[in-house]
Amino acid sequence: MARQERATRTRAAILEAAAAVFAERGYEAATIADILARADVTKGALYFHFSSKEDLARGVLAYAVTTEGVPEQPSKLQEVVDVSMVLAHRLPREAMLRASARLAADQSSRELFGAPYSEWTDLVASLLSQAKAQGELLPHVLPEETAAILVGAFTGLSLTSQESADLSCLEQQVGLMYDHMLPAIAVPGILGRLDTRPGRGARVTAQAAEGDGPDPADDDVADMAEEGAQAEEPLASGTPATTAAAGA
């Protein structure tokens, strides 16, 4: 048992080191020597767990799409927001996620690994389909197309934040992204109840860690969906979700 635990710790240390190197340098510039130095393990130990740099990258990319720390919400549109906000909260704090994000968007490694964010797009599309079924989305919204736009916008924000070495503002930027996009897809009655405020990711993460259920306030969001779907008065153009929430 002790040997198995030691092997598990060694594998985790190698993955963490690989993630740090991939996050800093990208796939092409990263080398096995860099990863060995960062992990402080022997070459034999590394190749016992991973056969190549490509195998290491695949191990890191397994973390690219995750809903860990995102509890289900009565409002599926709020859940879409929460997936992004929690990821934006975690990215500055977890090298594994930063590396998977960089690898997923790295054109030079696309032929090797495909497009891992297609799984995330599928996840968001599924949530948007559920949101539309329960009356949270405007009739013209197509879940698959909207999911691709939302995921693409998030990916762009995360990459520009990493390039500027300032991931601390990513969650705020993602909230602003939703403030601009939600009025185009959400029914008026639900829009003002959605939480896109800075710190939403931290709040949801803490809530999940404590084992609590969805925020009771989110029940109000689901209750408003049917009413919003039947609303005839159009929402004023450019009204951000957070502004409406502040006045609610």
**Mean pLDDT for the chain overall:** 81
| Position 234 confidence tier, pLDDT thresholds 50, 70, 90 | very low
HEC letters along the chain: CHHHHHHHHHHHHHHHHHHHHHHHHHHHHCCHHHHHHHHCCCHHHHHHHCCCHHHHHHHHHCCCCCCCCCCCCCCHHHHHHHHHHHHHHHHHHCHHHHHHHHHHHCHHHHHHHCCCHHHHHHHHHHHHHHHHHCCCECCCCCHHHHHHHHHHHHHHHHHHHHHCCCHHHHHHHHHHHHHHHHHHCECHHHHCCCCCCCCHHHHHHHHHHCCCCCCHHHHHHHHHHHHHHCCCCCCCCCCCHHHHHHHC
Is 245 a residue whose pLDDT tops 60?
A: no
- pLDDT at 114 (0 to 100): 61
Higher pLDDT, 132 or 103: 132
Count of other CB atoms within 10 angstroms of residue 58 = 15
- pLDDT at residue 167, rounded to an integer: 66
Residue 139 pLDDT level (bands cut at 50, 70, 90): very high
pLDDT at 130 over 80: yes
Q: How far apart are CA 12 and CA 24, in angstroms?
A: 18
Rounded to two decimals, what is the model's pTM? 0.71
At 233 the pLDDT is: 40
Assess whether pLDDT exceeds 50 at residue 71: yes
Does position 68 have pLDDT exceeding 60, yes or no? Answer: yes
Helices 2-29 and 95-105, interaxial angle, to 10°?
A: 40
